[in-house]
Structures are given as structure tokens and as C-alpha cells.
């Protein structure tokens, strides 16, 4: 519990530093055409769409075949491969990623699986206050929660994930403890970025 409190404080410090040094009007996406290792990552899919400010973008999503990590380690892991922990810029993109997960045979082979998303909340069991770590901005669309989520089920569920419980049901968003490990790490690559 204490560790989680410090993690949230750490995230706040990072945010403050980011907000002080970045122009929030700038797009938060950056094209990043790196080659991704097939031995480390499985491909989840590709999505192309528009952000709310009219920027056209394309992303490809991957998840680790063998490596597992908690939320903090997942961020570092993606970064170490010049990728980013996944974000979803719009509800349409979020739904597209959930459909990709539903259709993925590897992810469906897990009894239960929760993949970390690069967003956190500062209020336990918050229904609305979730923020992207990269930009500090609040998630602007209705989050496609799985049934009964967010539920703060085991307490301190401050990190955002998507997944499914047991082999029943479809993939959806859920709140989870940031310390949760044992799941594949989902990373994204920005393939294309065309400002309006």
C-alpha cells in the first residue's frame, strides 16, 4: 500500500516535469518506424484513424511472447525497444484494440490476462478521472470497461489495463494494481503521423 502511494507520487512528479517543459498543444504522437523483433514480440494488429484534433495516425500493437512485467516495468520494457506502452487516442481505437485481443489466439489461450495501458488514476475507484501518463491529459472518451469494472477489487487499483477474466467474456478495460505482474507487455509503434 505504501509502495503504491510512492509510485503515484513519483508519477505526479514526472507529470509536473513534463507539463512544465512541454507545449500541451503539440500532438502527443511521434512517428517511430522501428523494426520489431518477431522473437520478442507477437503482433496484435494495426489501426489507422484520426485524433480529436484531426491528426491522422497509424499504430501497430505488439505484445511480448515471453517477458512479463508490472505497470512500471512494462513502460520501461517498451521504451527499451524504442516502443511505447499502449495508449488509445479515441474510443474507436480502444474498441479496435479490444477486438484485436478478442481475435488473438495467443491472448485467448490465457485463462485470465490483463495488459497494462499507459494511464493511471489518482482517485481510488474513480469512474471518470483517468489520465494518460505521456501527456498528462484526462481520458476524454467513455472508457469501455469490462462488466463490473472499475471495481478496485483488491484495493489500490490505480493503473489501467485491458483484459478478460477467465476464458469467458470479451476483452474490456479494468482498473488493476500497478504492482500486478505475470502478464504480457503490450507495446505500440507509431507508424504514421500526419498533422491536420
Comparing CB distances to Ca ion, the nearer of 18 and 165 is 165
Q: How many residues bind Ca ion (CB under 5 A)?
A: 5
Kindly state whether residue 89 participates in binding Ca ion, applying the rule CB under 5 A. no
Kindly state whether residue 151 participates in binding Ca ion, applying the rule CB under 5 A. yes
Comparing CB distances to Ca ion, the nearer of 71 and 81 is 71
Comparing CB distances to Ca ion, the nearer of 12 and 154 is 154
Cell 512528479: give the residue: 13
Beta bridge partners of 56: 50, 194
Distance CA 105, CA 93 (A): 20
Comparing CB distances to Ca ion, the nearer of 70 and 175 is 175
Kindly state whether residue 158 participates in binding Ca ion, applying the rule CB under 5 A. no
- Radius of gyration from C-alpha coordinates of the chain: 16
Residue 146 carries which DSSP code?
P
Within 90-188, residue ranges assigned H as helices are: 91-102, 105-109
Kindly state whether residue 70 participates in binding Ca ion, applying the rule CB under 5 A. no
Kindly state whether residue 117 participates in binding Ca ion, applying the rule CB under 5 A. no
Q: Which residues contact 55 (CB under 8 A, 6 or more apart)?
A: 27, 29, 193, 194, 195, 196
Kindly state whether residue 175 participates in binding Ca ion, applying the rule CB under 5 A. yes
Kindly state whether residue 43 participates in binding Ca ion, applying the rule CB under 5 A. no
Distance CA 11, CA 130 (A): 13
Kindly state whether residue 183 participates in binding Ca ion, applying the rule CB under 5 A. no
Contacts with Ca ion by CB under 5 A lie at 151, 153, 157, 174-175
Amino acid at each position: 500500500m505504501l509502495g503504491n502511494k510512492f509510485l503515484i507520487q513519483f508519477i505526479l512528479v514526472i507529470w509536473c516535469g513534463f507539463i512544465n517543459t512541454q507545449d500541451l498543444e503539440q500532438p502527443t504522437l511521434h512517428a517511430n518506424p522501428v523494426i520489431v523483433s518477431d522473437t520478442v514480440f507477437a503482433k496484435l494488429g494495426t489501426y489507422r484513424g484520426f485524433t480529436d484534433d484531426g491528426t491522422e495516425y497509424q499504430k501497430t500493437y505488439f505484445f511480448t511472447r515471453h517477458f512479463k512485467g508490472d505497470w512500471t516495468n512494462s513502460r520501461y520494457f517498451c521504451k527499451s525497444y524504442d516502443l511505447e506502452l499502449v495508449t488509445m487516442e479515441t474510443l474507436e481505437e480502444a474498441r479496435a484494440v479490444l477486438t484485436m485481443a478478442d481475435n488473438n489466439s495467443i491472448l485467448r489461450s490465457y485463462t485470465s490476462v490483463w495488459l497494462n495501458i499507459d494511464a493511471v488514476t489518482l482517485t481510488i475507484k474513480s469512474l471518470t478521472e483517468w489520465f494518460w501518463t505521456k501527456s498528462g491529459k484526462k481520458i476524454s472518451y467513455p472508457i469501455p470497461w469490462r462488466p463490473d469494472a472499475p471495481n478496485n477489487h483488491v484495493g489500490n487499483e490505480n493503473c489501467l489495463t485491458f483484459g478478460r477474466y477467465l476464458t469467458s467474456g470479451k476483452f474490456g478495460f479494468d482498473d488493476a494494481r500497478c504492482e500486478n505482474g505475470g502478464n504480457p507487455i503490450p507495446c505500440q509503434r507509431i507508424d504514421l503521423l500526419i498533422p491536420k
